[in-house]
């Protein structure tokens, strides 16, 4: 195979992964009646406990306006709240409510179980190789994104 054929095979494999992960995300392991954008935001907020809208938008690679709508929906659904900084009232952070934290834990527990089962299905002598290969792929994608931003 040449590089072109290999890159096409990579593209197809990533497309298959995206589809399979889409099915997982829509399953009982995942987002419990909220949108995928809300789910991603909820998980990221839950992991750091409190985050600004700008930081969250950057982390999820979304526009601030899109992130704002997503957070508004989480706030309306009593899953998140906005906290105004006592020192600088212009600075607002987002954190989870009690029900938001419970949902976050349910999502994390379900996804951890799912991926533990997937990982345990990989042959023992290939587990580290899979992790290393995914790390290399992520770094290559990041490198390509950085090159795109410079042009």
Tokens found for residue 28: 């009982």
pTM for the structure as a whole: 0.77
Q: Which residues pair with 81 in a beta bridge?
A: 95
> What's the CA gap between 26 and 104, in Å, rounded?
15
Render pLDDT for 76-131 as a digit per residue (tens, 0 to 9). 999 999 988 777 777 889 999 999 999 999 999 988 998 999 999 999 999 999 99
The DSSP element (H or E) to which 82 belongs, if any, is strand 80-84
Fold of 31-120: Arc Repressor Mutant, subunit A (1.10.10)
Say how far apart CA 39 and CA 21 lie, in whole Å.
14
């Amino acid at each position: 195979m040449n590089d072109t054929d290999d890159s096409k095979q990579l593209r197809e494999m990533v497309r298959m992964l995206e589809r399979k992960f889409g099915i997982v995300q829509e399953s009982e392991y995942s987002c419990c009646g909220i949108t995928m954008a809300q789910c991603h935001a909820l998980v990221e907020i839950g992991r750091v406990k409190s985050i600004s809208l700008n930081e969250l938008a950057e982390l999820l690679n979304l526009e601030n306006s899109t992130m704002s709508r997503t957070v508004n929906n989480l706030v309306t659904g009593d899953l998140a709240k906005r906290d105004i900084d006592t020192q600088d009232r212009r600075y607002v952070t987002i954190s989870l409510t009690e029900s938001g934290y419970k949902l976050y834990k349910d999502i994390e527990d379900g996804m951890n179980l799912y991926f533990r089962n997937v990982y345990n299905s990989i042959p023992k002598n290939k587990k580290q190789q899979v992790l290393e290969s995914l790390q290399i792929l992520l770094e290559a994608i990041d490198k390509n994104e950085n090159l795109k931003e410079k042009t």
